[in-house]
Chain A
Amino acid sequence: MRFTSDSLNPVFLKEIRQMFRNRSVLILTSLLLIGEIAMLLIVRFFADDIGDSDELGQICFIIQMAAISLVILLMTGFVQCSNFAKERQNMDLDYSRLSVLTPFTIVCGKVLTSVAMIAFIFSMCLPFMFIAYFLGGISIMEICSIVLALMPVYFLISLVSVLLGATGMKSAETLTVLLGAPSLLGLGVNLAIYSSGWRHSRHLSYILRIEFGILLVAGLFFAWSIGVLTQRKANTMFWSRVYILLIAVLGPVLFLLSRLACWPFTHQTPYFVYFFLGNPMTESYIQLCVWVIVWTACVLLVVAGSLGERMEPGPRVMAERPRNRFLRLLHFLCSSGRAGALVLGWLLFLPVFLSLVCGLADWSSESIIWLLATLPLYLLFYAQASAILVRYFPSLGWAAVVIVIGVFVVFPVLCIALCPFESNASERIWLLTTPFGLELGDPTRSVAVSAVLAIVSGCWLLPYYCDNLRRHLYEEVPPPPVLHKEEQK
């Protein structure tokens, strides 16, 4: 059996060969195995001195997981990121320029390599884990739950490494390790402890929610990696927008489905519902908060992303449009171009805003919910203000964003910092255009001010949105000329 089949991802094939030839990988793997053997030797000859023999297997397993995590961090985080960054820096090695492989295939190949290496490491350590189980103090379920709880963290690290590697930064690998180590230490250890039954009862539903959150972030990194590898002036934002839209749409649907499933069980929550979403009878408010946070994050990502985009979609984006009008509308929302991003931002924000205004949140308390409502409004205002500036002064480009932030945020804050006002009311008037001037005790007024700013700027840009949408839906443009490889270089 030879892995030369065309059905396999070529990047994966190349990467995995490279990994098994890499000296660092060989050294790390050998050290891991030597470490495991050494641990068994210690257990064999010094077990009586270690302490409570009831917990021997647990201690061994913790040491194993620490060693495995370190090896995975170095292997998938450091080595792979370093290789990818070097490829991106060297024009002769960059797959995205050398071949016709799509960014999706390249990122998939890289991620698959990481997953394969993680599986390889774990399969190599499996017999040692099995022995740890027999040494006592830990059950098979605990071992499985800890390993499964840590998997998304490893996955996240590998995606961070792919994303940073794709940027071609010189110190990408160091940055990956710097980002990955704390996440492994903090998140991983917490997850491991929570998923085990050692000190806490198993809160599988909470674990699953955290894991779900990690996977959501990992998915976003995946989409961003594709965007980074996509050529300039192409539809770079498409995959990340599609992903954000899916998250925003599927979130409430899942939420509603869970409520619907629980409807007949007024007192007996079915186990599967509790397993995935917690007890909806007692945690509905928390769930609402979580989904509002997720949705607001989606809005913020979309709107923040729009700040760096062009005002009009390029000819490549226009040429990629599907024929169906409805699909074209979705394409407009997801494609590169500031108009689509801002419209998508408004569309995503309005349901959150309306649900909050309609009394789902507790406005009387100093809840985080109202802050979540105002932040996207301010961001929408800044994005739209910069779009207005660029519309009238097209040469400004990025400077428009700087000017808007400078005028509406930095300047008022500096004024307040340098010449403090005597009355709080005057300070608040100066800080009206910033999120810092909001009074915690009166969320309604803060939301009203930010909403007015966002709506006024939105109304100003309404013709621009409509024109863009009309052109995207109805205007036919000739396909762009196909460039040869040499020209692409």
Chain B
Amino acid sequence: MKRIASLLCLLCVAWHVALAAPSPSEKLDLDATVLPSVLPGEFEPVQFAVRVSNHGMFPMKVDLVYQEYRRNQVKLRMTRSAFLTPGSSTVLRFYRVESGSFGNPDFQVYVNGKYLDSPFAGLQMASLYKRSNNTLSSILVGGGLPVELVEYVSFPDRRLVMASPIPLSQWSEDPKDYFSWQGHEIWLSPKDVLPDGVKRALLEWVRAGGQLVYVYLADDPWPEELPGRLPGEHIQKLGLGRVVHFRMFAFGNKAGLNYRTFLEKWKELNETHPNPKGKKVSPGEEFMTHSPEFLEAMRTPSIQSVYGSYHGAWQIFGLFEPKVPLTLLLVMMILFSVLVFPLSHWYYRRKGNVLMLLVSTPACSFLFCLLILLVITFSDGWRIRTSTMGITYLDQAERLAVTEAHLSLLAPYVPTSDFQFDREDRLSIHLDHANEETIVLADQPGQCLHPRIVTPRRPLNLHTKRLEHRGERLRVIEVDGGLEVVNGLGAEVEALCLVRENGERLVAPLPIPAGGRARLVPALEWKPKQLPDGTMESDIVGTNPNDHWIDQMLSLCSNSCRVEEANRSLDVDKLFASLPKSCDGFQNMFCAVLRKPVFYSPGFQGKMADNTQIVFGPWKAE
């Protein structure tokens, strides 16, 4: 015994000494720099990149930890790791999980597991979690365009105008870095010289739904290759987004004044001669004397807040909370109550051994707990159920895929394995039913979400967004006056619809296996059916072209979704019938329904997984 105690003491001392001794990592020279961000840090989701460089002589494993606290407890923890050989460097990117703001952020660096005093300079952590309350689309101004002018013009809409904190030459060449700006606009001056990589990235961002606006001031020459309905207006549709060119025609401009002089004049005029009708006209409205059609056309449709409301459109695709068989439980509890006290008490008192109540009551109680568990298990099942719904815009020509997906999970117990997401997935988490445990997002091998976030028997809802280059495609071949398709989407297509320029809808009569070929036939006219409860199915609804593409698709899908009790089913025929003749940037449109998550990470792959993937985009016959 004494020997074991001595050994333990020795081990303890050795452990302390080993931990206290300076490790080689402390002698290493680590340089960590937060890279400048194109977007100001006041918008969600926060994203920032850190370049870590090893200038030392030893290899090192660097762990960057981003944490947010609430009431002194870490509520969000994101880690990124890198192994650096001497002289090497790498960039680690953080995308903050969208789940509301938790509070004080903190950034820590560990080298070979040992904490290092923060080597960052100029990183304002307070700016990393600010959330904009602006629900309208916002404008990011870059290059040589005066911010005051844009603020001035955007005044009627009260849109938030932000200036990029870095010059255009330092803008990112990765389209993913602009992805969080979806639903907003970037305004530039035609004089701005964009590096090729930046230009390419911005155009991809436009294809994914962004809007790039070039503003021509009085002295900017209008390029002749840009025709428009009116002089000084040009809108080019590109994928799901637009590139807009417009010149600011204003009475100030007509009068030969620049906007600053105009503003002063306008203020002076407004003060000395207030509008007698009381109508408040902003200087921006005065300044932008464009046609209303043009102004309406260039208005960016803002994305509806996915988690603005719990009962949002996405929730239709989520899982429902199981119902408890209360009547049965009530009967059981009445039986338990009679058994556990009056009956047992009477029996043991008759036997003269009332002390047995101290044993029989807990035993009976545990037995009934087991029975309750069995009843609930038989009622709900003991398997983890998942349901995912993804909507993907696939630009086959540009090999670009933009995906938004809703993932829902219902587990009778806390799962043991992590939720696996791709490194590029932008996650949002519903905190309504999520456990108040810390959201831990590690990056090995991809992004891992800790399963403790699940509250048993309550649906957990996650949302992911993704922008990536993909090689999947749907080949459309003209054969004998008809159309045939070759499924190159990588999974079986359950249903497929092609909308032609003339509005004709062609559908695949049978599911098309991966790599399979099928001839398309004209779709039958859809008619409302009678539902099991006797009511008639709701009619097809049109989409609002001013809505963002994801909102349009979501509206179509939710309208085509039937919900009966805890089950939901997508009426594919109705969905196809409601497809518009043309979508934002293209005339010929295809829509495929898959039962496999091809373009998004399903997160958790349970045995009872119900995946629906809708892929749409332009098509061109070969």
Contact = CB atoms under 8 A, between A and B. Distances in A.
B115 A123 contact: no
- Give the interface size bracket for A toward B: 35 or more
B357 A20 contact: yes
Given A29-B341, A30-B341, A139 B372 contact: no
Across chains A and B, which 7 residue pairs bring their CB atoms closest together, nearest first? A264-B19, A123-B362, A3-B355, A267-B115, A20-B354, A197-B436, A201-B73
A123 B353 contact: no
B37 to A, nearest CB: 28
A268 B115 contact: yes
Contacts of B358: 16, 116, 119-120
A229 to B, nearest CB: 24
B75 A201 contact: yes
Interface string A34-46: 1011001101100
Interface in B291-338: 321, 324, 326-327, 329-330, 332-334, 336-337
Given A20-B354, A126-B362, 5 more contacts: A124-B341, A136-B321, A136-B457, A200-B71, A203-B71
Contact of B337 (A33, A44, A266): A33
Interface in A244-295: 263-268
Interface string A285-329: 000000000000000000000000000000000000000000000
Given A2-B353, A16-B358, A127-B336, A26 B372 contact: no
B254 interface: no
Contacts of A124: 340-341, 361, 365
B421 to A, nearest CB: 25
Interface string A121-138: 001101110110011100
Contacts of A201: 70-71, 73, 75, 436
Contact of B372 (A54, A130, A264): A130
A1 interface: yes
A21 interface: yes
B273 interface: no
A13 interface: yes
Q: Is the interface of B mostly helix, strand, loop or mixed?
A: helix
A17 interface: yes
A137 to B, nearest CB: 9
A266 B21 CA distance: 12
Nearest to B15: A264
A460 B610 CA distance: 88
Given A16-B355, A120-B358, A40 B71 contact: no
B325 to A, nearest CB: 10
Contact of A44 (B327, B355, B432, B458): B327
A1 B327 contact: no
A156 B332 CA distance: 35
Nearest to A44: B326
11 contacts: A1-B356, A2-B353, A30-B341, A36-B333, A47-B326, A120-B358, A124-B340, A130-B372, A202-B436, A263-B20, A264-B20
A268 B366 CA distance: 41
A136 B345 CA distance: 33
Contacts of B433: 54
Interface of A: 1-3, 13, 16-17, 20-21, 26, 29-30, 33-34, 36-37, 40-41, 43-44, 47, 54, 116, 119-120, 123-124, 126-128, 130-131, 134-136, 139-140, 197, 200-203, 263-268
A440 B471 CA distance: 78
B368 interface: yes
Contacts of B456: 139-140
B281 interface: no
Interface residues of B, number: 50
A478 to B, nearest CB: 43
B4 to A, nearest CB: 20
A40 B337 CA distance: 12
A127 B372 contact: yes
A119 B372 CA distance: 21
Contacts of B361: 120, 123-124
B435 interface: yes
B376 interface: yes
B342 A134 contact: no
B123 interface: no
A2 B458 CA distance: 45
B72 to A, nearest CB: 8
Given A124-B365, A126-B365, A268-B115, A41 B355 contact: no
Contacts of A1: 356, 359
Contacts of B355: 2-3, 13, 16-17, 20
Given A43-B326, A136-B321, A263-B16, A127 B341 contact: no
B345 A36 contact: no
Contact of B330 (A33, A41, A135, A268): A41
Contacts of B514: none
B341 A40 contact: no
A47 B366 CA distance: 26
Contact of A123 (B75, B365, B457): B365
Contacts of B329: 40, 131
B47 interface: no
B398 to A, nearest CB: 44
A279 to B, nearest CB: 8
B447 to A, nearest CB: 23
Given A116-B358, A124-B365, A264 B16 contact: yes
A154 B115 CA distance: 44
B455 interface: yes
B397 interface: no
B563 interface: no
Given A20-B354, A136-B457, A203-B71, A126 B366 contact: yes
A385 B528 CA distance: 100
B457 to A, nearest CB: 7
Contacts of A197: 435-436
A268 B336 CA distance: 50
B333 A127 contact: yes
Contact of B73 (A2, A140, A203): A203
Nearest to B310: A54
Nearest to A137: B458
Contacts of B337: 33-34, 36-37
A126 B15 CA distance: 45
A481 B365 CA distance: 54
A139 B412 CA distance: 12
Nearest to A33: B337
B482 to A, nearest CB: 53
A145 to B, nearest CB: 12
Contacts of B376: 134
Contacts of A126: 362, 365-366, 369
B393 to A, nearest CB: 34
A127 B19 contact: no
A33 B344 CA distance: 14
Contacts of B345: 20, 26
